């Protein structure tokens, strides 16, 4: 019982799920809204959500969902009509940030009030995983339709475990228990408050002073200190976050595989793990994060060897290489890594010019190719690896995540893997992709890191799944 | 002489600085009898103000201290009193009117409240009673509408009114002794006369004893019973007024008396005629050098919501012709528009209406050309000796710059010319290396005149260039002008509120009042047979050094 | 107080101020000679070490020597203070002088411009300029110059407005001097005293603005050692490693103290106050 | 009463200032590289999605047209939509004004409360050790970055000795004041030093002035001399200084707001700049500009009220 107060570093931006692509919103969406299919706590399995069960036609084009008896927080029943409406809306609405991802849906119809039939335009294995996106939550058609959409975001009605009481922008989001939630018996909390405390120090002081029950996104640097506090529990949950260094394959010597290999060898990832994550992370070696589906544990790991790297660079005719490194301003770890990499590459005779830019601008520079190297990270939104694989290895319009990496064999394989329904074959294909990408050095994998959150001793089952969702319906405040 | 009310014995004051001690007051002894007015005269910096401030332990700085002496009043030595006791003496027994009323009145407090403050504190009156008393007091010191003026702030008063407010504040504590430090220096003669009469009246009515500090012997002659003359921290001569004026003993006192520019008696007139003749020589039917025709200068008054601006006419329809070689004096009360006229004459302020023509060129019609000509041929000597010289430049630099810009002298010859100019105004050429702050007032004034001469002008406009000076220095400067007019072919416009000097120096006089010319004519004529009552009042208000020539002025005009 | 006693106190304050600022300037100049370590060298084995004999001010989270970083930081910070004040001073003085001297339309236009800049949120300007030009010292200087001149312009304008009616200015005009000569030779030298005093406290404000920008993550490029960014970065370790923030913070304070003492002394000497 | 007539004229000067600020902001924020649509979409952005967003917010129109739209909206009392929050900018600002306003108000009051007595103490003991001590301490207030001071205060007065809450903003008045205590104190520590220095300097001058000599010569005790004559005369120059500083504060509370997690406009502004939320930047800039103009206006009124000689 009781109200759980959680301190986070950013505020929500909206309560219309299709209009956000930010983690901060998803955290709250999954409290307030419900999806047809959910990802379990381990982050490796799809489990029933609003849909009790589902069947897939043999051609893989028709999905039939059987909805359970659930109600929205206003007491209205959740119908297949609502679900169909929500899927069409995320595909078609002008304000939707996700329409591209849902173009695969051809039709979504309610066969009866509890049966939803979705027809796809083509085969897509990841489709079911996409249903678990909080952005694809089922909304009450009646309240959202037409001109009411804007006001709906003000007073959202969902079928999640909690419902919105008030959103004081910039300060907090106040949720209360939703008595109409289909699994309400399991929910122990009376409510949840998401507080915004942007400054890391303040957030940590806030929990140390006992003014909140939980603080999330704990800086790695604070973990050791917080662990010594007997009143607090520091939790480290596995994540799908992977930090990597983008390389612009179109820039001069960087087009040569040998040069990229040399760079990979010149970077001491263990040192980065130590410095940036205080040893809490782990050296990365595949673009598929550890713990995610199809992660290939035996992938190649090039040893740290600056001397050899230097020689390889000389052999490749790139001995006096100078790289332009875009650093995202305001991100402490990014700056730390940049400084470290600069020093490490210097040992291999590579000069690095750091160029710190405001993060919003760095997107443009990366897209336009005005960079040589830059560090970014990716956290999976969905369970299936296809989303990331496509963006990173098989995508034309975003130039393979701004790297300009080109390998037709890889691209074909990405297409094929998306359609492969046999799990074993599919696994093999993704292993192959991981090897190929590593061999080509599409980018340099740096490290995997866990989610670190801290709660008071009296809080139980405060857990973040690898996709970043907090399942507060299970959390207990003693 | 009755038993003294206040008696100063052997008072010495020193200032301590890095190099040791310097004596500012040297064993000064003085007595003040009840109901007496003691005149304290002496040159600037002789320690008059300091003496008065020492009496109530209000020394201007912590580095200054009394080293010996006593001040007896009511059986106590005031210098030996503690903080609390001397506080009770200040105001209640000894009231002070300071030299400069503008800076001694609190600018952000209503004048009435400043009077009330003393009444409530010393006389323990309640608010309403104090206010009533304050208004009565303001009436006594000559405010015309005390009830309204009670609520005014100091800046809303003219200089004369401020001086009266200062007196009211001093009287609010009902003192036995009033010290008035140069209460009239900043004022013109008419207002000066008014204040002096007020002081005498107060003495009569309240039995006050007054110490009156001044550098003007005329003022002393008209008001005091006794005189003390100070010089370099010492009292060099003290005694009955008539004795001292008639038989001065000390060299300095004699110099003071002889340099007083009283109205010349008839025997002295031939000297003046001499000058007039000399100046008339080059005059002919030639066209005037400066011609002013129906000149108006208006200043905008602040306020006036939504652009309905009102303005104030500082010069209202003045017409005047000045022939080459003439010496013209402009006189008039403070604020009558003399300086404004002078500046307009030289194109230094915009003309609202009318014409100024210089040597045939009109300032309005051919502004640039006329200005160029004027800048080459006319120069001005400014009212304030310190402020009209750039404080950062030495006198030599100032003069050299003028010579360089004017370009009338070859660059190589400039240093020589600077020397020459300084000699011309009787300054040692060594002064070329000094900055204005390192010079005395008279020396600055002469530097200003040298700068005007550097232009090698045909016309000099000298604006009240002697008002702020000691009589001895005044005399030097007048002599210099007399010489220059005679030896160089100069046209001189001389502005002053001191009529005696104008009469000594000028050939023709123009009397201004409220922005207009009220009377104009040859000096001798105007001063002897003034046509206007205003002119007569101005002349009558001059305090004469002869104590038997009584200070009198028709009250009606003084209030205007 | 007598002039001499005042002069003495002024001298003592001035000397103390000059010693402090001069000390930092010397440290900056001699940085390679006196700094015990390379300011950007990271020693992975000596992270977050408290002050000791080997590292008198301790080390930061990269194992960089804080003393060395402070010494090298003096170069950047002194430069920031000087440049961040110099351009606003020059621009503001010229604009303020012209507005005050000519009055009328020129003045009205410039005053409106000043109003706009005063009303313009500094942060928007600063962040936009940094975003447009990229974080770094030059954007910082440009932003400071764009905004900072306003204070000087106001100060100088007020002075010139008073002084241009001073007799010596009118005298200069009456002697046929050109307006340039009157304004720049006669009026300006007599009106800069107040601004020079203000400079000194402005220098401190510049350093603090720099620190605030660093806090928002847009400070100078890493790994440059700069005090503001050192405090900003170190604050993540405030509770476990006080020395990372304390020493650069103290350096700002000491430099500020030096500047304000020079300012006080100048003010007292020239008879002006802030 | 015509000394106060500028009160009627002044609002006319609002117009060019606010117009100027809006135009400069408009141009400036749009010159910043970086596309709001891309910021909104993040890593998963696709060209069609970006185009969609741009069309939706009219970002694909020519710049001058966008400005005209902006002006038209403004004439209707609207400021457009936030790209990030997708609600009306005015509404968004409305929820954020109070904390910032309260913070500034409290800080200014607190600074005055700190500065005046200390300045008086220092001035009346000029040259003695207490004067030096106060001046030395005040330099510390100027020199330490506010975010450092803020954290120190928080660690001391909220965690070690839990007197005040660490961060946030309250609901009831008392609650709000408690939450504002530390942030206001942080600002006041540096603001008061500026005030203190200028007040002290003025007081020292006035203590040496003829006005005080005259008051003493009337036998007034030191306390009356100080509080009735020196203080009223000394505050006039500090009013302007305070106004300029409040002007800086209005746009400069962001650091304090983000440290103390106050849901104010500074934070809103910074986030908006970083996410290129043009309309919000524009709106907040205008509100700040108006507030600054207003503060200067009030300062002018105060100056006129304090000093009867001043005419505007
Ligand atoms: N604060 C001070 N510090 C040092 N010396 C001072 C100070 N005030 C006055 N003096 C010196 O004391 C001497 C006497 O000054 P005082 O003001 O009494 O002159 P005064 O006779 O009143 O002159 P004036 O006619 O100009 O008013 C002067 O030489 C002056 O330089
Ligand atoms: N700049 C100005 N703005 C407004 N009024 C002014 C200005 N200058 C002078 N005046 C007013 O114009 C009138 C004439 O001033 P002016 O200086 O010419 O007097 P004056 O005869 O020279 O007096 P004084 O004997 O005191 O020098 C005065 O009432 C004065 O207040
Ligand atoms: Mg005197
Ligand atoms: Mg005059
Ligand atoms: Ni009159």
- A111: enclosing H helix or E strand: strand A105-112
| ipTM entry | 0.81
> Three-state DSSP class for A165?
strand
Asked whether B337 lines ligand 2 (CB < 6 A), one says: yes
Measured by CA distance, the residue closest to atom 22 of ligand 2 is B339
Q: Please list, in sequence order, all residues whose beta carbon lies within 8 angstroms of the beta carbon of residue A301, skipping any fewer than 6 positions away.
A: A283, A285
CA distance D232 to chain B (A): 7
pLDDT for the residue numbered B269: 41
d(C-alpha A400, C-alpha A390), whole Å: 8
Domain layout of chain C by residue ranges: 3-38+52-270
| Beta carbons of D264 and A16 less than 8 Å apart | no
Between residues D87 and B464, which one has the greater pLDDT?
D87
Half-sphere exposure of A428 (CA within 13 A, CB side): 5
d(C-alpha A287, C-alpha C129), whole Å: 37
pTM across the whole model: 0.84
pLDDT for the residue numbered D200: 87
d(C-alpha A412, C-alpha B1), whole Å: 128
Cβ within 8 Å of A, D 219-238: none
pLDDT at residue B276 tops 50: no
Which of C174, C189, C192 is the best substitution to test chain B (most B C-beta atoms within 10 A)? C174
pLDDT tens column, A271-286:
999 888 888 999 999 9
Look up the domain containing B521 and give its range. 270-540
Residue D159: pLDDT band with limits 50, 70, 90: confident
pLDDT for the residue numbered A78: 94
Residue B2: pLDDT band with limits 50, 70, 90: low
pLDDT for the residue numbered D38: 80
CA distance D218 to chain C (A): 22
CA distances from residue B144 to B135, B170, B553, C120, D172 in whole angstroms, order as listed: 11, 19, 18, 52, 59
Asked whether B45 lines ligand 1 (CB < 6 A), one says: yes
Asked whether B231 lines ligand 2 (CB < 6 A), one says: no
Q: Which of B183-197, C135-149, D261-275 has the lowest mean pLDDT?
A: B183-197
| Beta carbons of D275 and A197 less than 8 Å apart | no
State which residue of chain D sits closest to B54, comparing Cα positions.
D217
CATH of the domain at B374: 3.40.50.300
Arithmetic mean of pLDDT, B100-112? 84
Nearest-atom number in ligand 1 for the CA of B182 is 27
pLDDT tens column, B282-330:
444 467 889 999 999 987 765 444 445 567 788 998 999 998 888 999 9
Between residues A240 and D8, which one has the greater pLDDT?
A240
pLDDT tens column, A93-121:
888 888 888 999 999 999 999 999 999 99
> Cα D67–D69–D74 angle (5° rounding)?
95
Residue B94: φ, ψ to 5°? -120, 115
DSSP A186: G
Residues in chain A: 478
Query: C142 and C87 in contact (C-beta within 8 Å)?
Result: no
| Beta carbons of B105 and D309 less than 8 Å apart | no
Give yes or no for C1 touching B (CB within 8 A).
yes
pLDDT tens column, D99-115:
999 999 999 999 999 99
d(C-alpha A394, C-alpha A397), whole Å: 10
pLDDT at residue B270 tops 50: no
What number does CATH give the domain D96-306? 1.10.3720.10
Q: Which of A32-41, B71-80, C216-225, D22-31 has the lowest mean pLDDT?
A: C216-225
C-alpha B497 – ligand 2 centre gap (Å): 13
Closest partner residue to D289 among C120, C216, C260, by Cβ? C120
Between residues A47 and D13, which one has the greater pLDDT?
A47
pLDDT for the residue numbered B294: 92
| Beta carbons of A332 and C233 less than 8 Å apart | yes
Measured by CA distance, the residue closest to atom 30 of ligand 1 is B45
Nearest-atom number in ligand 2 for the CA of B300 is 4
Arithmetic mean of pLDDT, D106-130? 90
C-alpha B24 – ligand 1 centre gap (Å): 8
| Beta carbons of D34 and A381 less than 8 Å apart | no
Domain layout of chain D by residue ranges: 2-89, 96-306
Residue A137: pLDDT band with limits 50, 70, 90: very high
Residue B304 domain-assigned?
Answer: yes
- Of B227, B252, B189, B265, nearest to B43 by C-alpha is B252
Asked whether B313 lines ligand 2 (CB < 6 A), one says: no
Cβ within 8 Å of B, D 210-269: 210-211, 213-221, 224, 228-229, 232-233, 236
pLDDT for the residue numbered D85: 85
| Residue listed under structure tokens 């009787």 | B426
Residue B560: pLDDT band with limits 50, 70, 90: very low
Residue C5: φ, ψ to 5°? -65, -35
pLDDT at residue B279 tops 60: no
pLDDT for the residue numbered B266: 41
Residue B276 domain-assigned?
Answer: yes
CA distances from residue C223 to A356, C122, C190, C227 in whole angstroms, order as listed: 11, 26, 44, 12
CA distance A354 to chain C (A): 7
- Of D284, D308, D265, nearest to D95 by C-alpha is D265
Q: Please list, in sequence order, all residues whose beta carbon lies within 8 angstroms of the beta carbon of residue A205, skipping any fewer than 6 positions away.
A: D151, D154, D155, D158, D159, D166, D167
Nearest-atom number in ligand 2 for the CA of B188 is 25
D and C interact (at least 3 Cβ pairs within 8 A): yes
Give yes or no for D41 touching A (CB within 8 A).
yes
Taking the alpha carbons of D284, D287, D289, D292 in that order, is the dihedral positive or negative?
negative
Closest partner residue to D86 among A14, A96, A195, by Cβ? A14
pLDDT at residue D7 tops 80: no
- Which residues from C are below 8 Å from A200, CB to CB? 236
pLDDT for the residue numbered B461: 92
pLDDT tens column, B67-89:
988 888 888 888 888 888 888 88
d(C-alpha B503, C-alpha B262), whole Å: 10
- Of B209, B160, B206, nearest to B183 by C-alpha is B160
Arithmetic mean of pLDDT, B321-348? 87
Asked whether B339 lines ligand 2 (CB < 6 A), one says: yes
pLDDT at residue B496 tops 90: no
Query: B35 and B203 in contact (C-beta within 8 Å)?
Result: yes
Cβ within 8 Å of C, D 117-136: 127, 136
Closest partner residue to D219 among B53, B87, B306, by Cβ? B87
Ligand nearest, relative to CA of residue B42: 1
- Which residues from A are below 8 Å from C47, CB to CB? 275
* DSSP β-ladder status, B20-32 and B76-77: unpaired
pLDDT at residue B554 tops 50: no
Tokens of A418: 């998306």
Print burial letters for D55-86: b (CB count within 10 Å at least 16), e (below 16): eebebeeeeeebbeebeebbeeeebbbbbbbb
pLDDT for the residue numbered A63: 94
d(C-alpha C74, C-alpha C79), whole Å: 8
Arithmetic mean of pLDDT, D6-16? 75
Q: What is the total count of domains within chain B?
A: 1
> Alpha helices, DSSP H only, in B507-552?
523-528, 533-540
pLDDT at residue D3 tops 70: no
Asked whether B497 lines ligand 2 (CB < 6 A), one says: yes
pLDDT at residue D230 tops 50: yes
- Which residues from C are below 8 Å from A356, CB to CB? 134-136, 218, 221-222
| Beta carbons of C127 and D270 less than 8 Å apart | yes
Residue B257 domain-assigned?
Answer: no
pLDDT at residue D217 tops 50: yes
pLDDT for the residue numbered B468: 58
Residue B277: pLDDT band with limits 50, 70, 90: very low
CATH superfamily label, C3-38+52-270: MetI-like (1.10.3720.10)
d(C-alpha B131, C-alpha B139), whole Å: 12
- Of D150, D148, D246, D147, nearest to D195 by C-alpha is D246
pLDDT for the residue numbered A293: 86
pLDDT for the residue numbered A48: 93
| Beta carbons of C2 and B383 less than 8 Å apart | no
Residue C8: pLDDT band with limits 50, 70, 90: low
d(C-alpha B221, C-alpha B235), whole Å: 18
Give yes or no for D29 touching C (CB within 8 A).
yes
Measured by CA distance, the residue closest to atom 31 of ligand 1 is B45
Give yes or no for D13 touching A (CB within 8 A).
no
Give yes or no for D248 touching C (CB within 8 A).
yes
């Amino acid at each position: 019982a009781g109200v759980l107060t959680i301190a986070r570093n950013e505020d929500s931006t909206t309560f219309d799920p299709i209009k956000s692509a930010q983690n901060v919103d998803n955290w709250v969406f999954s409290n307030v809204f419900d999806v047809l299919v959910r990802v379990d706590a381990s982050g490796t399995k799809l489990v029933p959500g609003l849909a009790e069960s589902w069947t897939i036609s043999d051609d893989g084009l028709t999905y039939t969902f059987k909805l359970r008896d659930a109600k929205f927080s206003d007491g209205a029943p959740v119908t297949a009509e609502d679900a169909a409406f929500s899927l069409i809306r995320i595909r078609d609405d002008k304000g939707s940030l996700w329409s591209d991802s849902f173009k695969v849906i051809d039709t979504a119809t309610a066969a009866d009030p509890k049966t939803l039939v979705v027809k796809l335009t083509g085969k897509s294995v990841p489709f079911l995983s996409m249903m678990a996106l909080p952005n694809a939550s089922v909304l009450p058609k009646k309240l959202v339709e037409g001109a009411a959409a804007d006001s709906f975001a003000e007073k959202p009605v969902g079928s999640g475990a909690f419902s919105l009481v008030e959103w004081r922008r910039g300060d907090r989001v106040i949720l209360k228990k939703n008595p109409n939630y289909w699994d309400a018996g399991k929910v122990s909390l009376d409510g949840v408050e998401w507080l915004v405390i942007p400054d890391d120090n303040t957030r940590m002081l806030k929990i140390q002073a006992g003014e909140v029950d939980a603080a999330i996104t704990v800086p790695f640097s604070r973990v050791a200190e917080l662990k010594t506090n007997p009143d607090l529990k520091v939790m480290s949950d596995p994540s799908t976050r992977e930090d990597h260094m983008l390389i612009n394959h179109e820039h001069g010597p960087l087009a040569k595989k040998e040069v990229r290999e040399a760079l990979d060898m010149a970077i001491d990832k263990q040192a980065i793990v130590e410095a940036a994550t205080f040893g809490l992370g782990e050296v990365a070696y595949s673009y598929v994060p550890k713990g995610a589906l199809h992660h290939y544990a035996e992938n190649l790991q090039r040893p740290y060897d600056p001397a050899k790297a230097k020689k390889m660079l000389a052999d490749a005719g790139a001995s006096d290489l100078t790289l332009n490194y875009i650093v995202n301003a305001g991100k402490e770890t990014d700056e730390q890594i940049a400084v470290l990499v600069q020093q490490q590459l210097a040992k291999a005779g590579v000069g690095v010019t750091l160029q710190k830019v405001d993060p919003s601008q760095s997107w443009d520079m990366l897209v336009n190719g005005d960079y040589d190297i830059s560090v970014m990270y990716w956290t999976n939104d969905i369970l299936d690896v296809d989303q990331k694989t496509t963006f990173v290895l098989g995508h034309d319009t975003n130039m393979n995540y701004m790297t300009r990496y080109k390998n037709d064999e890889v691209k074909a394989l990405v297409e094929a893997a998306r359609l492969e329904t046999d799990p074993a074959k599919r696994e093999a294909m993704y292993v192959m992709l991981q090897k190929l990408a590593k061999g080509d050095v599409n980018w340099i994998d740096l490290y995997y890191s866990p989610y670190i959150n801290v709660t008071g001793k009296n809080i139980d089952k405060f857990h973040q799944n690898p996709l970043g969702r907090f399942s507060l319906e299970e959390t207990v405040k003693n | 002489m009755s038993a003294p009310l206040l008696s100063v014995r052997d008072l010495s004051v020193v200032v301590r600085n890095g190099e040791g001690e310097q004596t500012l007051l040297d064993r000064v002894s003085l007595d003040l009898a009840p109901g007496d007015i003691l005149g304290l005269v002496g040159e600037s910096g002789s320690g008059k103000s300091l003496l008065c401030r020492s009496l109530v332990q209000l020394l201007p700085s912590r580095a200054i201290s009394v080293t010996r002496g006593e001040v007896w009043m009511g059986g106590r030595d005031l210098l030996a009193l503690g903080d609390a006791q001397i506080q009770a003496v200040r105001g209640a027994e000894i009231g002070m009117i300071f030299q400069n009323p503008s800076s001694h009145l609190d600018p952000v407090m209503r004048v009435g409240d400043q009077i009330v403050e003393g009444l409530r504190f010393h006389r323990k009156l309640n608010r309403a009673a104090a206010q009533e008393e304050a208004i009565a007091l303001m009436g006594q010191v000559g405010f015309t509408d005390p009830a309204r003026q009670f609520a005014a702030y100091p800046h809303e008063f003219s200089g004369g009114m401020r001086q009266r407010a200062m007196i009211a504040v001093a009287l609010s504590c009902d003192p036995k002794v009033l010290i008035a430090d140069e209460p009239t220096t900043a004022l013109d003669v008419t207002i000066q006369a008014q204040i002096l009469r007020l002081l005498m009246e107060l003495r009569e009515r309240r039995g006050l004893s007054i110490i009156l500090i001044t550098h003007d012997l005329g003022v002393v002659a008209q008001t005091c019973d006794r005189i003390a003359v100070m010089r370099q921290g010492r009292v060099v001569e003290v005694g009955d007024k008539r004795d001292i004026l008639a038989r001065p003993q000390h060299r300095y006192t004699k110099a003071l008396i002889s340099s007083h520019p009283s109205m010349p008696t008839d025997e002295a007139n031939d000297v003046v005629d001499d000058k007039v003749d000399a100046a008339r020589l080059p005059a002919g039917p030639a066209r005037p050098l400066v011609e002013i025709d129906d000149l108006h200068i208006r200043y905008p008054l602040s306020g006036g919501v939504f652009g309905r601006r009102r303005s104030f006419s500082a010069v209202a329809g003045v017409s005047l012709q000045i022939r080459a070689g003439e010496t013209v004096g402009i006189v008039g009360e403070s604020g009558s528009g003399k300086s404004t006229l002078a500046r307009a004459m030289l194109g230094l302020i915009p003309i609202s209406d009318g014409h100024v023509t210089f040597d045939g060129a009109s300032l309005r019609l051919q502004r640039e050309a006329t200005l160029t000509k004027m800048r080459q041929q006319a120069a001005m000597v400014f009212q304030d000796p310190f402020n009209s010289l750039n404080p950062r430049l030495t006198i030599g630099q100032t003069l050299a710059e003028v010579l360089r810009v004017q370009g009338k002298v070859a660059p190589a010859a400039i240093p020589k010319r600077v020397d020459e100019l300084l000699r011309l105004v009787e300054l040692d050429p060594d002064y070329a290396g000094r900055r204005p702050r390192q010079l005395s007032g008279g020396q600055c004034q002469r530097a200003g005149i040298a700068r005007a001469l550097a232009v090698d002008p045909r016309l000099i406009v000298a604006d009240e260039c002697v008002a702020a000076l000691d009589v001895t220095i005044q005399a030097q400067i007048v002599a210099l002008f007399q010489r220059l007019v005679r030896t160089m072919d100069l046209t001189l416009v001389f502005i002053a509120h001191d009529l005696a000097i104008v009469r000594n120096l000028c050939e023709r006089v123009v009397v201004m009042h409220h922005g207009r010319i009220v009377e104009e004519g040859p000096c001798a004529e105007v001063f002897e047979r003034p046509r206007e009552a205003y002119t007569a009042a101005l002349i009558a208000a001059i305090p004469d050094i002869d104590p038997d020539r009584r200070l009198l002025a028709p009250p009606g005009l003084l209030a205007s | 107080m007598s002039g001499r006693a005042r002069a003495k106190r002024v001298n003592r304050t001035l000397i103390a101020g000059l010693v402090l600022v001069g000390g930092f300037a010397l440290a900056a100049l001699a940085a390679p000679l006196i700094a015990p370590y390379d300011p950007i060298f990271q020693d992975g084995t000596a992270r977050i070490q408290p002050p000791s004999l080997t590292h008198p001010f301790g080390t930061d989270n990269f194992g960089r020597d804080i003393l060395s970083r402070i010494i090298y930081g003096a170069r950047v910070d002194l430069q920031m203070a000087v440049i961040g004040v110099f351009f606003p001073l020059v621009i503001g003085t010229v604009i303020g002088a012209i507005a005050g001297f000519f009055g009328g339309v020129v003045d009205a236009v410039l005053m409106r411009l000043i109003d706009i800049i005063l009303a313009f949120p500094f942060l928007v300007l600063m962040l936009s300029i940094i975003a447009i030009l990229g974080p770094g010292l030059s954007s910082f200087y440009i932003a400071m110059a764009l905004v900072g001149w306003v204070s000087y312009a106001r100060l100088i304008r007020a002075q010139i407005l008073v002084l241009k009616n001073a007799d010596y200015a009118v005298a200069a005009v009456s002697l046929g001097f050109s307006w340039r000569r009157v304004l720049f030779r006669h009026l300006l030298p007599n009106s800069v005293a107040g601004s020079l005093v203000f400079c000194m406290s402005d220098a401190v404000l510049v350093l603090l603005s720099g620190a605030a920008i660093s806090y928002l993550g847009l400070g100078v490029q890493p790994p440059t050692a700069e005090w503001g960014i050192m405090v900003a970065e170190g604050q993540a370790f405030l509770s476990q490693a006080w020395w990372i923030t304390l020493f650069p913070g103290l350096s700002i304070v000491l430099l500020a103290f030096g500047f304000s003492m020079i300012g006080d002394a100048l003010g007292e000497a020239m008879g002006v106050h802030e | 009463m015509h000394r106060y007539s500028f009160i009627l004229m002044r609002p006319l000067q609002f117009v060019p200032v606010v117009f100027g600020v809006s135009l400069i902001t408009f141009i400036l924020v749009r010159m910043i590289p970086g596309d709001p649509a891309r910021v909104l979409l993040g890593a998963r952005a696709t060209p069609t999605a970006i185009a969609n967003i741009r069309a939706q917010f009219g970002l694909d129109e020519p710049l001058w047209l966008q400005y005209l739209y902006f002006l038209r909206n403004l004439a209707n009392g609207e400021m457009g939509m936030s790209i990030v929050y997708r609600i009306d900018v005015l509404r968004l600002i409305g929820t954020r004004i109070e904390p910032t306003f309260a913070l500034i108000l409290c800080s200014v009051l607190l600074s005055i409360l700190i500065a005046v007595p200390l300045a008086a103490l220092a001035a009346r003991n000029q040259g003695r050790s207490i004067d030096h001590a106060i001046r030395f301490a005040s330099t510390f207030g100027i020199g330490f970055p506010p975010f450092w001071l803020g954290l120190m205060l928080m660690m001391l007065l909220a965690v070690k000795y839990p007197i005040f809450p660490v961060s946030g903003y309250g609901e009831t008045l008392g609650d709000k004041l408690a939450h504002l205590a530390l942030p206001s104190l942080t600002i006041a520590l540096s603001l008061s030093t500026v005030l203190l220095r200028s007040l002290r300097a003025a007081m020292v001058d006035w203590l040496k002035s003829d006005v005080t000599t005259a008051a003493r010569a009337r036998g007034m005790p030191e306390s009356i001399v100080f509080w009735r004559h020196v203080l009223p005369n000394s505050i006039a120059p500090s009013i302007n200084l305070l106004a300029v500083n409040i002007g800086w504060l209005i746009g400069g509370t962001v650091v304090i707001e983000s440290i103390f997690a106050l849901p104010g406009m500074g934070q809103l502004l910074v986030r908006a700049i970083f996410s290129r939320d043009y309309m919000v930047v524009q709106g907040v800039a205008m509100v700040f500009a108006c507030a600054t103009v207003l503060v200067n206006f009030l300062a002018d009124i105060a100056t006129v009220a304090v000093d009867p000689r001043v005419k505007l």
